[in-house]
Structure 1
């Protein structure tokens, strides 16, 4: 009976340790960077065309600024990971 209690306790503790995860950003950071590059390119191209309006600028800025914040977070975490 003592052996079964020890093995049950050992199994429970190893399960608890395997449930922990590391701190960091998800692996979808590459998609955010690609979307940021795409939106910045579209903004540059549209700014030189006849379709450029203040509403287009505002809508692109609304999607670019959060991606810039995410990009800054990715860079900070990657640099901190190296250091």
Structure 2
């Protein structure tokens, strides 16, 4: 009796997992706009700081460490949206 309950429970949980995977969307998360806002903020900070007296190599490298991954994410978002239209 206990094994039938366990097998029924595992069958229900696997059916639920497969149903959830069928309904979940593929692609990038909905929060891509936050990555774009972060990218714009870092690019603006880099532009402003490059004109100030506080600009140095360390600040440039620090900002680039944040900008480069966000730039990759932005390119992926744009590519995904264009392919979604086509």
- Do they fold alike, i.e. is TM over 0.5? yes
Runs of 4+ in 1 over 4 A off after TM superposition: 14-17
Give the length in aligned residue pairs. 73
SS in 2 for 1:70: helix
- What residue in structure 1 maps to residue 41 of structure 2? 38
TM-score, length basis structure 2: 0.76
CA distance in 1, matches of 2:65, 2:56: 14
In structure 1, list runs of 5 or more residues that go unmatched. Answer: 1-11
Query: 1:18 is matched with which residue?
Result: 19
Considering only aligned residues, what root-mean-square deviation do their CA atoms show, in Å?
1.9
For residues 11-56 of structure 1, the C-alpha deviation after alignment (integer angstroms, 9 at most, x for no partner) is x6x8566312221100110000000000000000000000101000
TM-score (norm 1): 0.79
Residue of structure 2 aligned with 1:50, choices 53, 59, 62: 53
**Structure 2 gaps, min length 5:** 1-11
